[in-house]
Amino acid sequence: MTPTFQTVGIVGTGAMGRGIAQMAAQAGSAVLLFDLQPGAAEAARTALANTWQTLVDKNKLDAQKRETMLQRLSCVGELSALSPCDLVVEAIVERIDVKQKLFGDLEALLPETAVLATNTSSLSVTAIGATLKRPGRLAGFHFFNPVPLMRVVEVIAGLKTEAVVCQQLTEFARQFGHTPVAAQDTPGFIVNHAGRGYGTEALRVAGERVADFATIDRILKDQMGFRLGPFELMDLTALDVSHPVMESIYRQYYDEPRYRPSVITAQRLAGGVVGKKVGEGFYPYVNGVAQVPAEPPVPEVASLPPVWVSPKAARRAELYQLLKNLGASIETAQVPSAAALILVAPLGLDVTTLAAVERLDPTRTVGIDMMLDDAATKRRVLATNPATRPDMRDAAHALFAKDGKAVSVVRDSGGFVTQRVVATIVNIAADMCQQGICTPADLEVAVTLGLGYPMGPLAMGDRIGPTNVLEILFNMGTVYADPRYRPSPWLRRRGALGLSLMHEEA
């Protein structure tokens, strides 16, 4: 295979730069490593030599091929030594002035046909190239860490980027074995933009004291299939990385409520409680292992009360069948008896609102999240309201745990936990399509590969049903009166017409 770029310069040889260098050398390019820090380029070359040797030892790489790739890597001590390159990728500090200075210096050294690429994750490609004489030769080439394992790369065109530059970078990414996705030059591009809903909405849930960090993590993993809960994820990435990104995207969108950060992470960052790498985050760590609090035990209840289900409950027929399977005594009268446990199953509304609107006894009313098919989840989630009696709360918990499935009981919340987090994710993704930041197909690929979600956000919306997502958002807007939850036109129109969220206009 003949690489798209014969000679590639890498400026900045930390984890990101080293990973990009590895992939370029494996694709057949000669790679020149440059770093201002003395010895950093040499250390990167040594690290790559060791990485490839490990693969040889595991019989995953031929020894001769290792030597060939290692010979393609060279360290240079001066920026001027990058003059033979037909592509230079920077992976340096996220400061626009530093990047602009670097690319200005490179532009003076390189031939006019050379391509300049920035691995920025949060800065505008257009703004980085604004001081260049040839801004059309600059594009974003955003990889994710660790580069060899995270097989997606965002190719970003600035306002003046030439189309051929993005075409070349796209082809080069494919030669890496990566999946390239095309993104417009907007804050967060695709992956970091689409990821705003997961952490920020979970923080709002925690901030309302709906549930603690561990419970929120358990719910989202067990109900929706996320690999890591939001607080586990923030501990892994560390708040000194993730909180500034939250603030940056929020500010770049002129304080758009959908991206609003949380005082919780700001306070923890100020206190140095940033995550696993310092041994303390949302969880404490001992020898690198999170110390997760045990789940509350299932209450022991001598006698379970009869159960009455609201006629407005979501998936009412399925809920009745579940109650039968659990051996519940079910009341079918128009109103509950004085002894009944009253169940509501709202989409987006809180238990309090339903109890008031339906004139139910709030002391006996408990909510259950029925957004998803019960058989498709590993956990049931119940919600009390401020007036729910402890005996009714415990009875509901004991009843829904009778078959051994995990049960979490949370405080009242519009949309429980999963509804509000998933609806926020779907809504942000839909609005990205509305803005034309990327195609629906590229969005789904970028999110599943870049964030490790169990499915793309538009697929999540289609699974739940766009009309159900709309109902959740409209009702959350009623509960919270926050423009954060206003539905995107992309979602509203497709939901109204019964179309898939993947549907593009002809």
Q: How far apart are CA 205 and CA 414, in angstroms?
A: 10
Q: Is the peptide bond before 146 cis (omega within 30 degrees of 0)?
A: yes
Tally Cβ neighbours within 10 Å of residue 111: 10
Q: Which one, of 491, 434, 429, 430, lies nearest residue 466 by Cα?
A: 491
Whether 184 and 156 have beta carbons less than 8 Å apart is answered as yes
Angle at which helix 440-451 crosses helix 418-435, to 10 degrees, equals 130
Per-position DSSP letters for 9-76, written without gaps between them: EEE--SHHHHHHHHHHHHTT-EEEEE-SSTTHHHHHHHHHHHHHHHHHHTTSS-HHHHHHHHHHEEE-
Beta 289-290 vs 285-286: how paired, if at all?
A: antiparallel
Q: Which one, of 193, 189, 191, 171, lies nearest residue 180 by Cα?
A: 171
Q: How far apart are CA 436 and CA 182, in angstroms?
A: 11
Whether 217 and 229 have beta carbons less than 8 Å apart is answered as yes
Residues facing residue 62 across a β-bridge: none
Collapsing DSSP to helix, strand or coil, 297 comes out as: coil
**Residues constituting the chain:** 506
So which residues are the catalytic ones? 121, 142, 154, 192
Whether 418 and 223 have beta carbons less than 8 Å apart is answered as yes
Q: How far apart are CA 58 and CA 300, in angstroms?
A: 53
The one-letter code for the residue type at 325 is: N
422: left (phi over 0), alpha (psi -120 to 50) or beta: alpha
Q: Which two tokens stand for residue 480?
A: 């919270």
Whether 420 and 414 have beta carbons less than 8 Å apart is answered as yes
Whether 10 and 21 have beta carbons less than 8 Å apart is answered as yes
- Based on the number of CB atoms within 10 Å of its own CB, is 427 exposed (0-12), middle (13-18) or buried (19 or more)? buried
Whether 73 and 41 have beta carbons less than 8 Å apart is answered as no
Q: How far apart are CA 129 and CA 10, in angstroms?
A: 18
Whether 49 and 74 have beta carbons less than 8 Å apart is answered as no
Collapsing DSSP to helix, strand or coil, 195 comes out as: coil
